[in-house]
Structure formats: C-alpha cells, structure tokens
Amino acid sequence: MLTMKMNRRSATGLVGIAGVALLFLTIGAPSASADTASFTLNSCNIPTVCNSGTVNLTLVGSSIQVSVNMASGFKVTDFAFNVVGATAGLVVSGLPAGFSQGGSGNMDGFGSFEFTIDGPPSSSAVSTLSFTVDRTGGFSSVSQLVEGTYLFAAHVIPDGGGATGFAAVPEPMSVLLLGAGLLGVGLTARRLRKKE
C-alpha cells in the first residue's frame, strides 16, 4: 500500500511539472496565428491622462496596421514604439497630415523608443491616429511590434485644455500569470494529497 501511494504521489508530481511547463510555454511563446492585438494606454505621468485610449495592431499581409484610438475627451500628438528584430528598411506610411516618422526618442517618463511618430502642435491633435509599419522582409506577427518595458507611448492632450501628459502601455503581466498558474498547480496537488 505504501508503494502505491508513493507511485501515485510521483505521478501527481509529474503531472504538476508537465502542467507548469505547458503553462510556461503557452505564456512565453507568441502565438503564430495571432494577427491582432489591443492594448490600453493605462500607465501615465499625470493622473488626468490615465486610460486615455487604446492601441490596436492588425497584421495585413506582411505589414502591421497600427490604430491609436483615444477615449472621449482626449487627443494624441506624438506616438512611440519599438520593433522586435531587424529594423532595416522600416517604413511608416499612411500618416495623416501634420504627422511624420521620426527617429528614436524619449517619451517623458517612459524611456527611449526606437521609433517615434512626430505630430502637430496640441491645437491640431487627433482623436484617431492610424498608420502602417513595414520593413525589409516584412512582419509575420503583430507581436513583432511589442517590445520593451513600455510597449507604446503617446503624448496625450485633454480636450478643453489642461495639462498634457504621456500615457503608455506597460509590459504584459506574464510573470504574474506564471505565478498564478504555479499557485493553482500547487494547490491542486495539495488537495489531491489530502484526499489520499
């Protein structure tokens, strides 16, 4: 009987380890079929611009369509992003009048970014900023435009005046998700051991 319990515990341990490995691989690896993603501009340097908009990415062929949609009461003038992998031949097209592709730049409080979209003065800010990003060799997934401690940053202008500020999308909480998964596996294993 003792031998049977040890084998059952060993099997439970192996299932737990396999579950953790599967969870880690699922969280850590970008999905090959993912062709859209949406992010909220929820980190900010002043409270009045928190949760001021969303950044939507869509893979179209080998290009990535970016759409920055500001919430009611907000507009955007400048935007910044990073690229995973090669930046050779990177081109931003389809920018609205008054916007242009810049080089690398710092977004106040959110660090340096490889690419910026330089916008017009605050009085000409827009509520939706859409453009297409392409590079030599193209993109195979929207995850190739998701890199850095802060994935994207925008210079946010509140309607009706007031202080302007910057809002950004922080790195996903993958470590928190992994921790929650490990806790769940541990609790399940503990419950199974108590039943024996």
Host H or E run for residue 58? strand 53-60
End-to-end CA distance of the chain, in Å? Answer: 11
Q: Domain limits of the chain?
A: 2-30+174-195, 36-170
Quickly state the pLDDT bin for 31 (edges 50, 70, 90): very low
- The whole-model pTM stands at 0.69
Sign of the CA dihedral with 90 first, then 95, 100, and 103 last: negative
CB atoms closer than 10 angstroms to residue 97: 8
Locus of tokens 């090669």: 86
Q: Which of 162, 83, 98, 106 is nearest to 129 (CA)?
A: 98
Which of 14-23, 37-46, 61-70 has maximum average pLDDT? 61-70
91: β partners:
134
Cβ-Cβ contacts under 8 Å for 122 (sequence gap 6 or more): 77, 157, 164
Both structure tokens of 196: 């024996």
> What is the Cα–Cα distance from 84 to 57, expressed in whole angstroms?
14
Q: Is the pLDDT of residue 58 over 70?
A: yes
Both structure tokens of 89: 């031949």
Q: Is the pLDDT of residue 23 over 50?
A: no
